[in-house]
Amino acid sequence: MKVLVTDAEYAALDIEAHVLTAAGHELLTARCTTPDEVIAAAQGVDAVIVQYAPITAEVLDALPQLRLVSRYGVGIDIVDAEAARARGVWVCNVPDYGTTEVALHAVAMLLSLLRNLTGHDREVRAGRWNYQLGGKLYRPTTLTLGVVGLGRIGRMTMRSAAPWFGRCVGYDPHLPDDAWPSGVERLGLDELFSASNAVTLHLPLTDQTRGLVGADLVSRMPAGSYLVNTARGGLVDLDAALQGLEAGTLAGVALDVLPEEPPTDGHPLLTHPRALLTPHTAWYTEEAEAELRRKAALNIVDWARTGRPTYPVVEGR
């Protein structure tokens, strides 16, 4: 079986090669960024591993022999899932490789905002020594934490941060009541934003969630609130977040993900003193990267051996 890695940020693909060749498969590599490049590189292959290269309906139509797409990561928004389903192409991901890392990063960002660490660091480096320069800080036990999305990462984030907060509320329309975590009050989305002094996002990016956190939800938050996003960049409208900072509704915003990565438009939020930014690194440790790459390849090995990948998201045939 021929397997193509369409694109990857890694210096070498030794992990993928070891997993695939040990199972008797041939590994090909490319550096695709467009649908046309994927079509050209994937002629004659049975499965692809993708990082950012788009797998559109046009790609699937041009590659009728392609039967499986394995994504480096959790989100599959770079794949036209409905087109894959209609054509019987498996789509799979790696949902559990960086759970601890992303939850840790979300909590670190949240605590940094609550204590204004980056602001105080900036002031000290500028020669100013005054604990009040960063504005008013409040004891977290007087605040409410809202978690939007209570999957693996959202639940771990909630469990880690909950002891510091006086109240914890959550929103997840897909989680049944019998699986709802204890100690977390279930609210609707509007209610959660109205009630929460700090909100952390843990949702996939879909047509329904794109631009979810816009001007309406931001304006509902109490004055001086905080927003953290380590999930998908398209969840947050940057204009709305900036407006919230300028109006004082938001005292701080922490983003590990952006609608465009790397950013090219020079959005003013990216240089705002109350914005904490990291380059989509929440998932990263050496161990998480190795696990991600190994499991992305194992999806294909398991599918070839049993007819089903390890982590299916879209069922193929």
The 10 Å Cβ neighbour count of residue 224 is 16
The whole-angstrom separation of Cα 153 and Cα 163 is: 17
Catalytic-residue membership of 261 = yes
The separation between the first and the last C-alpha atoms of the chain, rounded to the nearest angstrom, is 17
Q: How many CA atoms lie within 13 A of 135 on its CB side?
A: 16
Q: Cβ distance 49 to 16 under 8 Å?
A: yes
Instruction: Choose the catalytic residue: 18, 122, 267, 280.
Output: 280
The whole-angstrom separation of Cα 170 and Cα 158 is: 9
Catalytic-residue membership of 123 = no
DSSP annotation of 164 reads G
Catalytic-residue membership of 155 = no
Residue with tokens 């794109």: 210
List b or e across 101-139, with b for residues whose CB sees 16 or more CB atoms inside 10 angstroms: bbbbbbbbbbbbbbebebbbeebeeeeeeeeeebeeeee
Instruction: Choose the catalytic residue: 67, 105, 155, 232.
Output: 232
Q: Helices (DSSP H) in the chain: which residue ranges?
A: 14-22, 35-41, 57-62, 81-87, 99-115, 117-125, 152-161, 189-195, 215-220, 238-247, 286-306
Instruction: Choose the catalytic residue: 31, 261, 287, 308.
Output: 261
Q: Give catalytic residue positions.
A: 232, 261, 280
